[in-house]
Amino acid sequence: MADTKKLFIKTYGCQMNVYDSERMAEALGTQGYEETQTPDDADMILLNTCHIREKAAEKIYSELGRYKGLKAAKPDLKIGVAGCVAQAEGAEIVKRQPMVDLVVGPQSYHRLAEMEAKIRSGARALDTEFPPEDKFEHLASRPKAKRAPAAFLTVQEGCDKFCAFCVVPYTRGAEVSRPVQRIVDEAKDLVERGVRDITLLGQNVNAYHGSGPDGRDWTLAQLIWELDKVDGLERLRFTTSHPNDMGDDLIEAHGNCKKLMPYLHLPVQSGSNKILKRMNRSHTAESYLKLIERIRAARPDILMSGDFIVGFPEETEEDFQATLDLVEEVRYGYAYSFKYSTRPGTPAAERALVDPAVASERLQRLQALITRDQRAIQDDMIGRDLSVLVERPGRDPGQMVGKSEYLHAVHIENCDAAVGSLVPVTITGSGTNSLSAQRRPI
Ligand code: SAM
Ligand code: SF4
Can you give the length of the chain in residues?
A: 442
pLDDT, one tens digit per residue, over 272-303 is 999 999 999 999 999 999 999 999 999 999 99
Closest alpha carbon to 286 in 300, 335, 294, 339: 294
Alpha carbon 168 to chain centroid, angstroms: 13
- The answer, yes or no, to whether any atom of ligand 2 lies below 6 A from the CB of 207, is no
Quote the CA–CA distance of 305 and 276 in Å, as a whole number: 18
- The answer, yes or no, to whether any atom of ligand 1 lies below 6 A from the CB of 204, is yes
Residue 331 burial class via C-beta count within 10 angstroms: exposed 0-12, middle 13-18, buried 19 and up: middle
- The answer, yes or no, to whether any atom of ligand 2 lies below 6 A from the CB of 161, is yes
Report helix, strand or coil for 229.
coil
- Which listed ligand is nearest to 267 at the C-alpha? 1
- Which listed ligand is nearest to 174 at the C-alpha? 2
pLDDT at 85: 92
pTM recorded for the entire structure: 0.92
Ligand 2: distance of its center to the CA of 156 in Å?
13
- Which listed ligand is nearest to 170 at the C-alpha? 2
Quote the CA–CA distance of 195 and 145 in Å, as a whole number: 11
CB 282 within 8 A of CB 270: no
Region of 420 please: left (phi>0), alpha (psi -120 to 50) or beta.
left
Q: How are the residues of the chain apportioned to helix, strand and coil, as percentages rounded to the nearest 5?
A: 40, 25, 40
Q: Ligand 2: which of 163, 167, 270 to mutate, most ligand atoms within 8 Å of CB?
A: 163
Residue nearest to atom 13 of ligand 1 (CA): 307
pLDDT at 132: 63
pLDDT at 1: 47
Q: Angle 285-298/248-256 helices, nearest 10 degrees?
A: 30
Q: What type of residue is 44?
A: M
Q: What type of residue is 154?
A: T
Per-residue tens of pLDDT for the chain, all 442 residues: 457 899 999 999 889 999 999 989 988 988 899 999 999 999 999 999 999 887 888 889 999 999 999 999 998 999 999 999 999 889 899 999 999 999 999 988 888 989 999 999 889 999 888 776 666 666 555 556 778 999 999 999 999 999 999 999 998 899 999 999 999 999 999 999 999 999 999 999 999 999 999 999 999 999 999 999 999 999 999 999 999 999 999 999 999 999 999 999 999 999 999 999 999 999 999 999 999 999 999 999 999 999 999 999 999 999 999 999 999 999 999 999 999 999 989 999 999 999 999 999 999 999 999 999 999 999 999 999 999 999 999 999 999 999 999 999 999 999 999 999 999 999 999 999 999 999 998 7
CB 215 within 8 A of CB 179: no
pLDDT at 136: 67
Residue 197 phi, psi (nearest 5): -130, 120
- The answer, yes or no, to whether any atom of ligand 1 lies below 6 A from the CB of 225, is no
Ligand 2: distance of its center to the CA of 241 in Å?
9
pLDDT at 142: 55
pLDDT at 140: 52
Ligand 1: distance of its center to the CA of 106 in Å?
18
